[in-house]
Structure 1
């Protein structure tokens, strides 16, 4: 028999793993694949978007408080004259006439009852609308001159909030915080809950009784009291705090996995592994945990939004994210209070949060179907 024949036979014998089958089933689910793409885009925007934005998330533009979302640049044509008159009044001068060139240069004829002070030009430079203000063609008595300055154009695609901060940058920064909090707490909860529940359910007996009574005791502890204690010990470090939140949220996961384990450990393949002398740790790792991934993934997709909403509640109490840092929950809370006069404050964070929640739900459904042992 030739080497080619042997290699062909070996390739024919090579089978497919259960993970390969699950991956193919997941790819066939269009909703799950589209949701993965959407979630990836949101994550990339949240990570790299603030780096590309011309505005910092905590920069305050006092002249642009609660401006609506717009694709065109600010200031608008009708904003320039009121701003000129307002600043000129503070500088104790009056605007006799002004013109705006196509390249964004304002030329104004100004006058005053006293001599014009060039230092007052700093008032225009401190504005968010103008820059490089200077006096030219000053009259002999120094009471009239030509004022020239550049208009400082800015884009606020998502508008600004009540403090004059760019909503686009703040929404993307909030995405970083919310996704980090959700994933961090979820990973901790899943890791602890799966191992704890699988061990409790498989070992059974007195060990199971003691372990689940410990879960019941932790359930009885007031959550808010627990969080306040964490803030006292760790300070307002939301990373440490939400690691601890995940360490509390694992209780539901432990009960779910324990229930699945009680059913799985009676299956023939588990009994066959026991008959072969495989240790308990190996059975839990190779047979119990992989076959509980369906419910685990579904619960994980529900836990991420739960933690995000929990963070919003804690921030409202002053125990979570603090200004100037923000999150989607905080932005939505602020937007709800300004819904009548500034609806964009609620719309854009809600779109990002809703898209993330829908994507997680569709991904969870797709993974549940792909990992379902009955479909293998």
Structure 2
């Protein structure tokens, strides 16, 4: 009878098992997956366009009931027909249809219905019951039912649709800048740590010099240079945020280069570039993944800070930072404009940080 050895677990399988046991990290992963789905599909499924303006519904409060509410219909009809130069009779509402008696000393033009169609409140407007002399008639129109579950902003745009598109923009910016930062930082740090000696010393002195540059001033220069191209600007921001990653990977590489598998590869004549690509970088991925989950919220906060200063995303696009800046300006009379974007930002950052902590615990070799 032969003994069959049980198959061993790889380090990544062990780390995944440990991550699954971390409830906070798994809950954060589910929340991030939901946020990603909302960012990708939410703007298409939203009831309103993120740039669609409703002048009749500026700063309306969040409500589960449709707008306009009953007491808003008659004033809206009076405002819509104010320029029509006709006298209005008693306005009545029946089953979502508004009827407005009209009289005029001159013949009534049927095109007056356009005044109602131009309003956000009414649709399918028409002139009916026109008298034989054309001086009296009835205007009919359907009352639109618009839902603003999170209210509207200072320009009359649906806040829910704005938050959904802001999630897409903020996550795109965070992932784009993080990808650039990780690519540069990992390659630079691994190269410096592996080569060592004077080259390592020279490369790290360059990092120290870049650390000394005033960041905000550098970002202002980027805005002047790239204009309002958000993608190019945050690629450039990612090209600055790689400094921490370079130091972390360099430290990992200095310990890895003394390991037996690296020395064996050198003895077999494998080139330095191949050793970095096949052995050094793959063995630093655990640290890189952890840092990535912490760098994304850092970049999102940075984007929020720049947008708060007016240097980030520009209209009609928006981001969480832009929405928070607008909400801060209207905090007294429309607090929901600050509460909803700030809550979204808080949930996103907490989920990323909890996931990062869970990955750090799962990939920590001391706890295996």
Bigger mean CA deviation after superposition, 340-349 or 193-202: 193-202
Whole-angstrom distance in 1 between the partners of 2:166 and 2:46: 14
Whole-angstrom distance in 2 between the partners of 1:261 and 1:193: 12
1:157 is matched with 149
2:313 is matched with 321
- Checking the alignment, whether the CA contact within 8 Å between 1:84 and 1:95 is kept in structure 2 is no
Q: 1:76 aligns with which of 69, 80, 89?
A: 69
TM-score by length of 1: 0.89
1:121 is matched with 113
2:357 is matched with 365
Q: 2:182 aligns with which of 190, 195, 203?
A: 190
Bigger mean CA deviation after superposition, 297-306 or 356-365: 297-306
2:134 is matched with 142
User: Partner of 2:91: helix, strand, or coil?
Assistant: strand
Whole-angstrom distance in 1 between the partners of 2:367 and 2:182: 24
User: Partner of 2:65: helix, strand, or coil?
Assistant: coil
Q: 1:92 aligns with which of 85, 88, 113?
A: 85
Structure 1 residue 291: deviation in Å? 4.7
User: Partner of 1:66: helix, strand, or coil?
Assistant: coil
Structure 1 residue 175: deviation in Å? 0.7
Whole-angstrom distance in 2 between the partners of 1:313 and 1:16: 44
User: Partner of 1:97: helix, strand, or coil?
Assistant: coil
2:160 is matched with 168
Q: In the alignment, does 2:56 pair up with 1:63?
A: yes
Structure 1 residue 110: deviation in Å? 2.6
Structure 2, unaligned stretches of length 5 or more? none
Whole-angstrom distance in 2 between the partners of 1:88 and 1:239: 46
Whole-angstrom distance in 1 between the partners of 2:265 and 2:15: 23
User: Partner of 1:100: helix, strand, or coil?
Assistant: strand
- Checking the alignment, whether the CA contact within 8 Å between 1:231 and 1:241 is kept in structure 2 is yes
1:39 is matched with 32
Q: Deviations over 1:238-282 (max 9, x none)?
A: 112211111110011112222333345455665666667665445
Structure 1 residue 234: deviation in Å? 3.8
- Checking the alignment, whether the CA contact within 8 Å between 1:185 and 1:242 is kept in structure 2 is yes
Structure 1 residue 287: deviation in Å? 5.1
Q: In the alignment, does 2:10 pair up with 1:17?
A: yes
2:98 is matched with 106
Aligned residue pairs, count: 368
After TM superposition, the structure 1 = structure 2 runs for residues 248-287 of structure 1, keeping only pairs within 5 Å, are 248-266=240-258, 280-281=272-273, 283-285=275-277
TM-score by length of 2: 0.91
When the two chains are superposed, the root-mean-square deviation of aligned CA atoms in Å is: 2.5
1:296 is matched with 288
